[in-house]
Amino acid sequence: MTARAALDAGLARIAAEDQHWHAMLALDPTAAARAEAIDAAIGPRGALHGVTIAIKDNIDLAGMATTSGCRALAQALAPGDATVVARLRAAGAVPIGKTNLSEFSFEIRSRSSLGGDVLCPFDPATTAGGSSGGSAVAVACGYARVALGTDTGGSIRIPAAVCGVVGFRPAHGALPMHGIAPLAPSTDTVGPLAASVADALMVYRAMGGTVAPLADRTSPVRVGVLRMAQGEDPRIVQALDVACARLDRTGVTLVDPFVCDALPEWLDGAHIVDVEFAAAFDRYLAHHFATGTAPRSLAELVAGGDFLPDHAEALHRRMAADPAQAAGILARHAGLKLALVRAMADARVDGLIYPTLRVVPDSLDNPAGGWAAELAARTGWPAISVPVRSTPDARPIGVELLLPDGEEARLFALAHKLEAA
């Protein structure tokens, strides 16, 4: 189809359905003109020629506000495209609009003072996950072919797992974060949510991500099954079992269970968001937006009270935090990474597999998701959540693959094997 036809199909779905799911906060008024210009263009085509893309509303889209879901930022005019958005435009993508999210990206549900709760298309009484819930629903419901989200501690992979789509968290530092609202710069990343592993890889490359060629090897790939992270929900356990059986049939060697006794110890303690958010967001407000369109400090925003009341305590606590605590927290991240490297070397495994979440959300509250998503955040390694159906009519469950940075090609190859199986 033409770019304009693809755009119109997505817009029609939004008009017909989004009053149920609350995934979109704003539509790009220039999208139709851009799609028509792409259709009329003569010459080489980019890798994403005419592909519609939804943008999480903590990522800049030229000519539109970047709200982070907050009423106080409803008019916060972005100075231009975020770097990754500019790269997607250069590849031919058509941004369709901005998606709802957890306000400030604070939670693993998606609730904002601007858009309310993003609801799960599989169960509208439950959350779509967060913080990139609107982006996950935009892909799941066919509003756009792909979407962008951010991931600090699981915010791409968790909603992808809940909504039955693919979510890829790149290695920390693999992509530029210019034009993206900060949460915790030491672990913030930006990445794609997509209907397939191939689409996620295509978008990652268009954003500037590098995937080194797979090295030749004669031994089979070995993957450790991290049963410590699976919890007790039988649907989650069954999905992991099905995923492992399918990988086993493709020739992947599974080490089941893979054990790293040091993980609970290194995962304990304060979270990096608690000590990095306030200073980072304060700098962002001071310098980022057009004059007069947004508060110029976090203190001014909080004093105005125009934000989700749920976050009042967290905002005050994080503003009072001592930034000097970051060094100790990051030292714990380094300790966790070293413990994981050693355990993987002892077990001779290339990567790990585990459920993205321990539970299937059963309400609009934050789900008790467990710590699995933090492994990628705290090591800085790339990870991908792939939906797995235990039977053809079952609700998909997200299963995550984690490999060290520099192993993106093998990570995508394993994810494709799992998806194809």
Enumerate the active-site residues: 56, 131, 155
3-state secondary structure of 189: strand
341-346 CB contacts, 8 Å cutoff, 24+ apart: 341/404, 343/258, 343/259, 343/260, 343/262, 344/224, 344/258
From residue 96, give the alpha-carbon distance in Å to each of 54, 77, 105, 144, 167.
Answer: 5, 17, 21, 7, 19
What would the DSSP string read from start to end of 260-279? -TTHHHHH-S--HHHHHHHH
Which residue bears the tokens 């790009």?
A: 28
Crossing angle of helices 83-90 and 197-206, rounded to 10°: 110
**227 secondary structure, DSSP code:** G
The DSSP output letter for 250 is T
Distance from C-alpha of 135 to C-alpha of 319, rounded to nearest angstrom: 28
Bridging pattern class, strands 94-99 and 24-27: antiparallel
Phi, psi of 223 (to 5 degrees): -125, 130
- Contact status, residue 194 vs residue 53, Cβ threshold 8 Å: no
